[in-house]
Amino acid sequence: MDRLNKYLSRQKYVVHRSEGSPYRNFLLYVEEIYQVTVVYPIKYLFDIPLKYYEYFKSYKKKDIDNKNLKQFCNIIKEKHEINNEQQKCFCCYCRQDDMIFPLFSHFYYRKAKFKCNKKEQEEDIVLTLSCLKKKDKNFHSFFIQQNYNFFMLNVTLQQFDLNDEYFININDKSTLERKTYLLDSSNYEIDDEVFNVKIKFNVQKNYRNDDIEGNYLFVDSNIF
């Protein structure tokens, strides 16, 4: 769990819209799973956007054959990206102690693509490799953390490219300006005209009660 908390605390560079941007709103655009980022536009919130996957494959324990999980995935990831230069691939490690990303937990990975450690399976899926089309688009990130009885969203002006995996994974703290929003289960909407941020979180009951804690990505609304 310490390793998981360390990972979640790494993406604290939060939001970003460049000054003078012609776009009005940010739209929620991502599901965060342990050690992986899977892109979803908000308009597909209730339907997994299959068209955004160029490639998807699940691996069971017998496929890994006691190999190091990370090394195994890095090899197949690198091989696939070499053979398909226009794709960006991500590894999702399916473990029992993974935290369910609260916003999308109602999916329950219902199309059987994301069945990690489901009891009804003959064997647990321990790894999935998903590949998306590379895009020359700028994506924006923020991290929601719990602070006493409310959630706190620190907004920092910063921009990054989804295709730059190194930048996404490092804890880059170069900030320009910061703002804090306080959220809870009854106050989960942000409509800030100054920062041009418009967010509504779908809070749902789960084993951790009402929870909106986690990592999120945003993209300018004109991307589609």
Could you state, in order of their start, the residue ranges of all structural domains in the chain?
2-44+135-223, 50-133
- pLDDT for 150 equals 72
| Stated pTM of the model | 0.40
Taking the C-alpha atoms of residue 132 and residue 147, their distance in angstroms, rounded to an integer, is: 35
Name the pLDDT band for 79 (thresholds 50, 70, 90).
Answer: very high
Instruction: For the beta carbon of residue 15, count every other beta carbon within 10 angstroms.
Output: 28
Q: What does pLDDT average to over the chain?
A: 55
Tell me if 58 sits within 8 A of 91, measured CB to CB.
no
- pLDDT for 83 equals 92
3-state DSSP of 19-58: CCCCCCCEEECEEEECCEEEECCHHHCCCCCHHHEEEEEE
- pLDDT for 217 equals 55
Alpha helices in 161-218 (DSSP H): 165-169
Greater confidence, 68 or 157? Answer: 68
